[in-house]
Structure 1
Amino acid sequence: MTSKSIVAVTNCPAGIAHTYMVAEAIQQKGEARGYTVHVETQGASGVENVLTIAQIREADYVILALGKGMTDDDRKRFAGKKVVEVSVSRAIKDMDEIMADLEGHSKRFAGSTSDDDPVSSSAGSVTGIMSYLMAGVSAALPFVIGGGMLMAFGSILAQFGAPSVGPGEGGIASFAWVLSNVGSLGFTFMIPIMGAYIANAIGDKPALAPAFICTYLANNAELLGTETGAGFLGSIAIGLSVGYFVKAFRKIKLPKNLQSLMGFFVIPVVTLFVFGLLTYYVLGPVMAWLMSALISMLGAIPSELKLVAAFLVGCMLAFDLGGPVNKAAWFFSFSLVASGVYDWYGIVGVVGCIPPMACGIASLIRPQLFSEGERDAAIPAIIVGSTCTSEPAIPYVMAAPIPMMAANLLAGGIAGVLSMLLGVQRLAPGIGVLDPVLGLITPIPSYYIAFGIGLVLNVVLIVVFKSSWIKRREAKAASKAQ
């Protein structure tokens, strides 16, 4: 009897943890059920283990576990196949259930994202606006991470006495100056890249160049003639507008001898013409005004309300550990970085590391409260969690949702308040708890105070809440037995 085969594609907004966790789950659980499994990961390192035409043709089922959507061109590979399409967060939680009934969860795939595609229309959480926004963020992250690290290195060199002079100030530019200025280009292009890939997620490649150029225009105050750029609001408005415009435009059918010109000539030229003018005269100035108003509003919030908001952001970050609530708080905080507002992203730097590290530490301190698998995962959870990756906490939360979520939420909210009170600012994404040493988070003492208190509090709350939860369960079990 020929063994059955599964092919899968996994991706997530950041392209770091969820992408590979789900890939491993599909591989292990599929092979345990006798399937031959091939998984393509679309992560931060690019596309790995690309599925071949033969693998797709021979597959009985296709699993698409997506966190940032998939373009029409990518989907076309699976036309006619039985496809199970789920959000990456659901795939982590429910892979056993999905694998147990692939036939029931699958639908014959038409291979596009049109409204009459039964697969994509049934997976709104995957193909919705938030997934388009996170596709833009995912593309922008390498720019701001690389740029931030180079700027940090340049700053560190300058702090240790290295010269930081440009080519016009003494002949040859210094090494520290070059690092800082090359790094700053990452921040310059972060917003245009974000807008371009939001559009690309909706309208595919023909939308990429017009959205990039128009978003760059909207963020160049000198070209636009405004006081400020349009910031992340501009990238969202332009990215979505261009994406949907191009998606509608692609439905126009030209004669066959002209159809080949649509993708690389007609659509980009017409779209750039329309949105170039629209951006210059309408979208750019309006979004720049809105961005300026938002920044002014955030600066004018009374300190009491700001602390309430900081508590809420901290809770959101600790809530679903890389899920939609976490990503919404992260997106809000991260998107303000390009406009020079760093305190909200400072909360991300503090809270992002705490839940997984607290879970790992608690399982080492009170091992009797945790399963053998949770104890074995303690050291990896602490190490990976220290890089501001919250996903290692997921297995601990799934094993005991009520006490673990309560502990994480309370500690995350309080850590968020401490971060805001102490003025923690995160200038760019980095590598977690070492970011202050690299110059990516300031001030250094404030960060470690907020982080340290939040971490200790989370560990204590986990131990207290989970001990109480286990005792209650044991008492209930004993009473039922009587």
Structure 2
Amino acid sequence: MMKEILNEQLIKLDLAATDKEAVFNELADVLVNAGKVSDKETFVKGLWEREATGNTGFEDGVALPHAKSSAVIAPAIAVGVSKAGIEYGAEDGEPSKIFFMIASPEKASDFHVEVLASLSSKIIEPSFLEDLQNATSSEQALALFTANEEETVLPPETNQGPAKGFIIGVTGCPVGVAHTYLAAEAIENAAKEMGYEYKVETNGSVGVKNAPTAEEIARADAIVVACDKQVDLNRFAGKKVVITGVKKAIKNADTLIEQALVAPPFAGDDKASQATAAKAGPGGSGHDLYKYLMNGVSHMIPFVVVGGILIAISLAIGGEPTPGGLAIPEGSLWNKILDVGVVGFTLMIPILAGYIAYAIADRPGLAPGLIGGWIANNGSFYDADAGTGFIGAIIAGLLVGYFVKWIVSFNYNKMIQPLVPIMIAPIAGSLFIAAVFIFIIGAPIAGIMETMNTVLANLSTGNVILIGLVIGLMQGFDMGGPFGKVAFLFSVGLIAEGQTQFMGAQAAAIPVAPLGMALAAFIGSRMKLFEGEEVENAKAATAMGLVGISEGAIPFAARDPFAVIPANMIGSAVACILGFSFGLTCNVAHGGPIVVLLGAFNKPALALLAMAIGVVTTAAVAITLKKMRYNKVKKEQAALAAS
């Protein structure tokens, strides 16, 4: 395959680029000059659009930027080598030195995946990357790619080694591209070297390929599941199975096969949860539930960032203080930018619910999940003043996912079966979740809203420390959700009565969650408590927190609610109590440092101090809770290794 898509003209062994953007432009020029791409600007735009879904920098200095574009005349791959290395945002934090830029025609749906699969067999070779980096000419480099292409190999479905046994592998990474095929190649090579017949299933972006049959599973000696996404494990019940992530398979496939050969019989769902717990990061339990939540969070994050940043910019530049909060004058261009940001924020909750349901039930669960998330976030469906926020979205996504999965599990008549995923399951799921919220969950939510208003009204004439504690806990609990909105509207209502101390205390608590979690991520990432993606989220959360948008903390809370929500509540309560204790008042219905700059606080220095103490408290609690879980996971891993 390499001879068809790669030639000497497409290899550049002395890249001049010093950053990621320059790499894209330099290699795109190579493709244009070779007659493979017609419009450089369009193609590079496609590269960045792909990059927005997940960084294509991987371990060992390798980067695999790729795009499917109408600007691609003929499929090709451009190869670039940087001797010094370039900061690319790779997963291991190291500079990237070797770049494989794949140009795929718009209608060639599987091309980039096929190239990645082919590249995998090269990248996994012990000395390939080193030899490529040391190549002194394009001819020499090309020879490395085309070596052994003429050799005859058996199809992957039936590769036969000596009759020592049969190994099945299953690979799949969240994006379903590079790591999926690198892990598959590693398992195949290890099995072959160990003298086993093998078959490896890939769960890639183009679907499941090379899946083993029931007969093959029955005769398999061991099964290696190297996946960071949900796959069907129950089919392996009773077999010797080892479960891990794709990275371990890439680096230690032979060890995994040895472990699988002596593993106890796999027991199904319960055993799957227990086995995956050891490989979970410090932010989650490792159960299937964690994977479902992560699928929703990863798809929600761009909406949080786009919505939050645009709202923050429009309010910071175009906003003016009014009795009802920060407002942008009518007719201002900033109003349009604000509207676009609001669209992003409006969509983030349905997206969270939709992709949680999608992770559980696949495509049939997506539409009802989105609809359920919209209903959950819109209190008008069940006569409540506010929706259920991200917590309701998680509930909706899980309920819809499991319900739709149950609907599609039946054996339908052949005439009806094609309608199940596109009509029957989505309609049934949508009606189900609507009924749950409107007739079951809605009334209690509305009742809770009324009760909380009554509680706040009763407390407002009592101890300010107690009312500060209650308002702060409500503000930190759901970050812009129903509880926070009840407290906010209560404080806003008192402004009109001349009681601005309630808004002053809450305005100090509003930015604590996003700023606290951003600080925790920046510090905790050095302790391996936060992932790279969370550090990127922290940058957006910082901008949102500075202008009083508490929703910036939602991605952290959705990823790890049991550590983040308590931390947010404690920090927000501390800031709110300090606000009352300092005698803060605020005549603007908003919060965060931006309100200090607008002169709405009576004591700006003490307002910033209350916010800062709350932020530090949230960060400290979050890091402590995550550290406790991290240590627990380490102990479980040690116990598992010992057993």
Per the normalisation by structure 2, the TM-score is 0.41
Aligned match of 1:158: 318
Give distance in 2, aligned partners of 1:101 and 1:84. 12
Pairing 1:189–2:343 present: no
Pairwise CA distance, 1:246: 0.8
Aligned match of 1:145: 305
Amino acid at match of 1:245: F
Pairwise CA distance, 1:262: 1.5
Q: Determine which structure has greater relative contact order: mean sequence separation of CA pairs < 8 Å that are 6+ residues apart, divided by chain length.
A: 1
Structure 2 counterparts to residues 22-171 of structure 1, below 5 A = 23-24=91-92, 34=126, 42=174, 47=175, 49-50=177-178, 58-60=185-187, 76-77=208-209, 79-80=211-212, 82-85=224-227, 99=252, 101-103=255-257, 115=268, 119=272, 122-123=275-276, 125-159=285-319, 164=328
Structure 1 pair 359–72 and aligned structure 2 pair: CA distance change class (3 A)? closer
Give distance in 2, aligned partners of 1:73 and 1:233. 29
Pairwise CA distance, 1:195: 2.0
Amino acid at match of 1:347: V
Over the matched positions of the two proteins, sequence identity in percent amounts to 23
CA contact (8 A) 2:172 2:179 kept: yes
Pairing 1:348–2:513 present: yes
Amino acid at match of 1:351: G
Structure 2 counterparts to residues 355-370 of structure 1, below 5 A = none
Aligned counterpart in structure 1 of residue 374 of structure 2, from 216, 231, 255 = 216
Per the normalisation by structure 1, the TM-score is 0.52
Aligned match of 1:421: 578
Three-state SS of the structure 1 residue aligned to 2:539 is coil
- Count of matched residue pairs: 355
CA contact (8 A) 1:353 1:386 kept: yes
Give distance in 2, aligned partners of 1:22 and 1:129. 27
Q: Which digits, 9 at most, give the CA deviation of each residue in 1:275-327, with x for residues without a partner?
A: 333433223333444466578779988765788899999xxxxxxxxxxxxxx
Pairwise CA distance, 1:60: 0.5
Give distance in 1, aligned partners of 2:54 and 2:606. 30
Pairing 1:230–2:388 present: yes
Aligned match of 1:246: 404
Give distance in 1, aligned partners of 2:537 and 2:430. 43
Structure 2 counterparts to residues 316-395 of structure 1, below 5 A = 332-333=478-479, 339=485, 346-354=511-519, 387=539
Three-state SS of the structure 1 residue aligned to 2:296 is helix
Q: Which digits, 9 at most, give the CA deviation of each residue in 1:313-366, with x for residues without a partner?
A: 9xxxxxxxxxxxxxxx99854766984768666333333344576699xxxxxx
Structure 1 pair 196–41 and aligned structure 2 pair: CA distance change class (3 A)? same
Give distance in 1, aligned partners of 2:452 and 2:295. 23
Three-state SS of the structure 2 residue aligned to 1:122 is helix
Structure 1 pair 446–176 and aligned structure 2 pair: CA distance change class (3 A)? farther
Q: Which digits, 9 at most, give the CA deviation of each residue in 1:195-226, with x for residues without a partner?
A: 22222222122111112223323433334433
Give distance in 2, aligned partners of 1:147 and 1:186. 4
Aligned match of 2:633: none
When you count helix as a share of all residues, which structure comes out higher?
1
Pairwise CA distance, 1:228: 3.2
Pairwise CA distance, 1:179: 1.3
Aligned match of 2:434: 276
Pairwise CA distance, 1:135: 3.2
Pairwise CA distance, 1:56: 6.4
Give distance in 2, aligned partners of 1:225 and 1:415. 28
CA contact (8 A) 2:512 2:611 kept: no
Structure 1 pair 79–303 and aligned structure 2 pair: CA distance change class (3 A)? farther
Amino acid at match of 1:237: I
Q: Which has the larger radius of gyration?
A: 2
Pairwise CA distance, 1:180: 1.5
Structure 1 pair 136–291 and aligned structure 2 pair: CA distance change class (3 A)? farther
Structure 1 pair 262–178 and aligned structure 2 pair: CA distance change class (3 A)? same
Structure 1 pair 77–145 and aligned structure 2 pair: CA distance change class (3 A)? same
Aligned match of 1:178: 336
Give distance in 2, aligned partners of 1:454 and 1:164. 29
Structure 1 pair 186–25 and aligned structure 2 pair: CA distance change class (3 A)? closer
Structure 1 pair 121–355 and aligned structure 2 pair: CA distance change class (3 A)? closer
Q: Report the more deviating stretch, 298-307 or 128-137.
A: 298-307
Structure 1 pair 33–256 and aligned structure 2 pair: CA distance change class (3 A)? same
Structure 1 pair 340–232 and aligned structure 2 pair: CA distance change class (3 A)? farther
Structure 1 pair 26–36 and aligned structure 2 pair: CA distance change class (3 A)? farther
Q: Report the more deviating stretch, 186-195 or 220-229.
A: 220-229
Structure 2 counterparts to residues 8-19 of structure 1, below 5 A = none
Give distance in 1, aligned partners of 2:374 and 2:397. 11
Q: Unaligned stretches of 5+ in structure 2?
A: 1-52, 60-88, 97-119, 130-170, 190-202, 213-222, 230-242, 278-284, 489-505, 543-565, 621-643
Three-state SS of the structure 1 residue aligned to 2:416 is helix
Structure 1 pair 296–160 and aligned structure 2 pair: CA distance change class (3 A)? closer
Three-state SS of the structure 2 residue aligned to 1:253 is coil
Give distance in 1, aligned partners of 2:210 and 2:381. 44
